[in-house]
Structure 1
Amino acid sequence: MSCDVIISAFSVWLAFGLRLDQWGYFQGQQWIVLIVAIGFSFPLFISFGLYRAIFRYVGSAALASMARVFIIYTSLFFCTFTLLGVDDVPRSIGVIQPILLFIGIGASRYFVRYWLGNINNVQKSFYRTQPVALIYGAGSAGRQLALGISSNQEMLVKGFIDDDPYLQGSTINGISVYPNTGLKDLVHRFDITDVLLAIPSVNQNRRSEIIASLNGCGVRVRTLPGLIDLASGRVRIADLHDLDMNDLLGRAVVPPEVGLLEKNIRNQVVLVTGAGGSIGSELCRQIIKLSPKSLILLDSSEHALYLIYEELKKAVVVLKGNHLVNGDDDQDSMPRPALPINLVTCLASVRDSDFLRMIFRAHQPATVFHAAAYKHVPLVEQNPAEGIRNNVFGTFTCAQASLECGVSNFILVSTDKAVRPTNIMGVSKRIAELVLQAMAEIKDDHSTNFSMVRFGNVLGSSGSVAPLFSAQIAAGGPITLTHSEVTRYFMTIPEAAQLVIQASAMAVGGDVFVLDMGEPVRIYDLAVKMVYLSGLLVKDEAHPHGDIEIEVTGLRPGEKLYEELLIGNNPQPTAHPKIMKAHEEFLSWSDLQQELEKLNLALDTCNAQLIRDILKKLVPGYQPNGEAVDWNGGGIPKP
Structure 2
Amino acid sequence: MKKDKKLIILDIVLLVFSLYFALLLRLDFKIPTAYMEFFKLTVIPVIIITLFFNKIFNLYNSIWKYASIEELMSIIYSISLSNVVILIYSYFINYKLLETKYIRFPYGVHIIFWILSVVLLGGTRFIARIVQEGNFDKHSDKKKKRLLIIGAGDAAALLIKEIKRNINLNYEIVGLIDDDKSKVGKLISGAKVVGTREDIAHICDELRVEEIILAIPSADVDIKRKIINICKNTNAKLKTMPGIYEIIDSEFSINNIRDVNIEDLLGREEVRLNNENINKYIKDKVILVTGGGGSIGSELCRQIAKFNPKELLILDIYENNAYDLQMELNYNYPNLNKKVIIASIRDDKRLKDIFDMYRPEVVFHAAAHKHVPLMENNPSEAIKNNIIGTYNVVKCSHLYGVKKFVQISTDKAVNPTNIMGATKRFCEIMIQAFDSISSTEYVAVRFGNVLGSNGSVIPLFKKQIAHGGPVTVTHPEINRYFMTIPEAAQLVIQAGAMAHGGEIFVLDMGEPVKIVDLAKDLIRLSGYQLDVDIKIEYTGLRPGEKLYEELLMDEVALTSTEHDKIYVEKPADNSIDFVEKSILEFKEVLGKDKEDMFKLVEKKVPTYHRKD
What is the TM-score with the length of structure 1 in the denominator?
0.85
Match for 1:460: what amino acid?
G
Answer whether contact 1:595 1:618 (CA < 8 A) is retained. Answer: yes
Alignment of 1:92-103 (within 5 A): 92-103=108-119
Offset at residue 155 of structure 1 (A): 4.4
Answer whether contact 1:8 1:34 (CA < 8 A) is retained. Answer: no
Matches of 2:313 and 2:381, distance apart in 1: 25
Answer whether contact 2:15 2:47 (CA < 8 A) is retained. Answer: no
Matches of 1:275 and 1:3, distance apart in 2: 63
- 1:149-204 CA deviation, whole Å, 9 max, x = no partner? 32223243343322223333222222222332311333344443332222222121
Answer whether contact 1:516 1:578 (CA < 8 A) is retained. Answer: yes
The structure-2 alpha-carbon separation of the partners of 1:34 and 1:285, relative to structure 1 and needing over 3 Å to count, comes to: same
Matches of 1:341 and 1:14, distance apart in 2: 67
User: Residue 599 of structure 1 corresponds to which residue in structure 2?
Assistant: 586
Structure 1 range deviating more: 128-137 or 399-408 = 128-137
Equivalent of residue 371 in structure 1, options 339, 362, 366 = 366
Offset at residue 25 of structure 1 (A): 7.0
Answer whether contact 2:262 2:522 (CA < 8 A) is retained. Answer: no
Answer whether contact 1:141 1:235 (CA < 8 A) is retained. Answer: no
Match for 1:5: what amino acid?
V
User: Residue 161 of structure 2 corresponds to which residue in structure 1?
Assistant: 147
Residue 590, structure 1, aligned to residue 582, structure 2? no
User: Residue 551 of structure 1 corresponds to which residue in structure 2?
Assistant: 537
Offset at residue 99 of structure 1 (A): 2.2
Residue 249, structure 1, aligned to residue 266, structure 2? yes
User: Residue 485 of structure 2 corresponds to which residue in structure 1?
Assistant: 493
User: Residue 398 of structure 1 corresponds to which residue in structure 2?
Assistant: 393
Offset at residue 295 of structure 1 (A): 1.4
User: Residue 362 of structure 1 corresponds to which residue in structure 2?
Assistant: 357
Residue 503, structure 1, aligned to residue 498, structure 2? no
Residue 5, structure 1, aligned to residue 13, structure 2? yes
Answer whether contact 2:18 2:113 (CA < 8 A) is retained. Answer: no
Residue 70, structure 1, aligned to residue 79, structure 2? yes
Offset at residue 450 of structure 1 (A): 0.9
Match for 2:348: what amino acid?
S
Matches of 2:337 and 2:394, distance apart in 1: 23
User: Residue 575 of structure 1 corresponds to which residue in structure 2?
Assistant: 562
Residue 609, structure 1, aligned to residue 601, structure 2? no
Equivalent of residue 43 in structure 1, options 39, 48, 52 = 48
Matches of 1:350 and 1:79, distance apart in 2: 83
Alignment of 1:315-334 (within 5 A): 315-316=332-333, 327=334
Offset at residue 209 of structure 1 (A): 0.3
User: Residue 445 of structure 2 corresponds to which residue in structure 1?
Assistant: 453
The structure-2 alpha-carbon separation of the partners of 1:314 and 1:90, relative to structure 1 and needing over 3 Å to count, comes to: closer
Offset at residue 370 of structure 1 (A): 0.9
Offset at residue 3 of structure 1 (A): 8.4
The structure-2 alpha-carbon separation of the partners of 1:17 and 1:402, relative to structure 1 and needing over 3 Å to count, comes to: closer
Tell me the secondary structure at the aligned position of residue 92 of structure 1.
Answer: helix
Offset at residue 564 of structure 1 (A): 0.8
Matches of 1:345 and 1:116, distance apart in 2: 53
Offset at residue 54 of structure 1 (A): 4.3
Matches of 2:348 and 2:85, distance apart in 1: 89
Alignment of 1:610-629 (within 5 A): 610-626=596-612
User: Residue 114 of structure 1 corresponds to which residue in structure 2?
Assistant: 130
The structure-2 alpha-carbon separation of the partners of 1:7 and 1:45, relative to structure 1 and needing over 3 Å to count, comes to: closer
Tell me the secondary structure at the aligned position of residue 176 of structure 2.
Answer: strand
Structure 1 range deviating more: 572-581 or 525-534 = 525-534
User: Residue 482 of structure 1 corresponds to which residue in structure 2?
Assistant: 474
Equivalent of residue 181 in structure 2, options 165, 168, 172 = 165
User: Residue 534 of structure 1 corresponds to which residue in structure 2?
Assistant: 526
Tell me the secondary structure at the aligned position of residue 143 of structure 2.
Answer: coil
Matches of 1:237 and 1:275, distance apart in 2: 34
Tell me the secondary structure at the aligned position of residue 508 of structure 1.
Answer: coil
* Larger helix fraction of residues: 2
- 1:103-142 CA deviation, whole Å, 9 max, x = no partner? 333334323421232112323x22x334343332222222
User: Residue 435 of structure 1 corresponds to which residue in structure 2?
Assistant: 430
User: Residue 315 of structure 2 corresponds to which residue in structure 1?
Assistant: 298
Offset at residue 361 of structure 1 (A): 1.5
CA RMSD of aligned residues (A): 2.9
Alignment of 1:217-366 (within 5 A): 217-232=234-249, 234-316=251-333, 327=334, 341-366=336-361
Matches of 1:564 and 1:230, distance apart in 2: 40
Answer whether contact 1:422 1:623 (CA < 8 A) is retained. Answer: yes
Matches of 1:215 and 1:46, distance apart in 2: 55
Alignment of 1:119-198 (within 5 A): 119-123=135-139, 125-126=140-141, 128-153=142-167, 154-156=169-171, 157-180=173-196, 181-198=198-215
Matches of 1:609 and 1:190, distance apart in 2: 62
Matches of 1:497 and 1:355, distance apart in 2: 27
Matches of 1:304 and 1:519, distance apart in 2: 32
Tell me the secondary structure at the aligned position of residue 536 of structure 1.
Answer: coil
Match for 1:141: what amino acid?
A
Tell me the secondary structure at the aligned position of residue 453 of structure 1.
Answer: strand
User: Residue 461 of structure 2 corresponds to which residue in structure 1?
Assistant: 469
Tell me the secondary structure at the aligned position of residue 282 of structure 2.
Answer: coil
Offset at residue 44 of structure 1 (A): 4.3
The structure-2 alpha-carbon separation of the partners of 1:70 and 1:311, relative to structure 1 and needing over 3 Å to count, comes to: closer
Matches of 2:302 and 2:121, distance apart in 1: 56
The structure-2 alpha-carbon separation of the partners of 1:625 and 1:185, relative to structure 1 and needing over 3 Å to count, comes to: same
Structure 1 range deviating more: 576-585 or 210-219 = 576-585
Offset at residue 53 of structure 1 (A): 4.7
- 1:290-314 CA deviation, whole Å, 9 max, x = no partner? 1111112222223333232333233
The structure-2 alpha-carbon separation of the partners of 1:587 and 1:187, relative to structure 1 and needing over 3 Å to count, comes to: same
Structure 2 gap segments, 5+ residues each: 1-8, 95-100
Answer whether contact 1:573 1:579 (CA < 8 A) is retained. Answer: yes
Matches of 2:446 and 2:363, distance apart in 1: 16
Matches of 2:38 and 2:234, distance apart in 1: 63
User: Residue 231 of structure 2 corresponds to which residue in structure 1?
Assistant: 214
Answer whether contact 2:271 2:490 (CA < 8 A) is retained. Answer: no
Answer whether contact 1:256 1:498 (CA < 8 A) is retained. Answer: yes
The structure-2 alpha-carbon separation of the partners of 1:114 and 1:82, relative to structure 1 and needing over 3 Å to count, comes to: farther
Matches of 1:89 and 1:28, distance apart in 2: 13
Answer whether contact 1:272 1:368 (CA < 8 A) is retained. Answer: yes
Offset at residue 457 of structure 1 (A): 0.4
Offset at residue 6 of structure 1 (A): 6.5
Matches of 2:357 and 2:232, distance apart in 1: 55
Match for 1:380: what amino acid?
M
Structure 1 range deviating more: 71-80 or 370-379 = 71-80
Structure 1 range deviating more: 558-567 or 73-82 = 73-82
Structure 1 range deviating more: 189-198 or 402-411 = 189-198
What is the TM-score with the length of structure 2 in the denominator?
0.88
Structure 1 gap segments, 5+ residues each: 317-326, 328-339, 541-545, 627-639
Offset at residue 401 of structure 1 (A): 1.1
Structure 1 range deviating more: 32-41 or 223-232 = 32-41
Offset at residue 556 of structure 1 (A): 0.8
Structure 1 range deviating more: 414-423 or 276-285 = 276-285
The structure-2 alpha-carbon separation of the partners of 1:147 and 1:510, relative to structure 1 and needing over 3 Å to count, comes to: same
The structure-2 alpha-carbon separation of the partners of 1:549 and 1:31, relative to structure 1 and needing over 3 Å to count, comes to: farther
The structure-2 alpha-carbon separation of the partners of 1:60 and 1:388, relative to structure 1 and needing over 3 Å to count, comes to: same
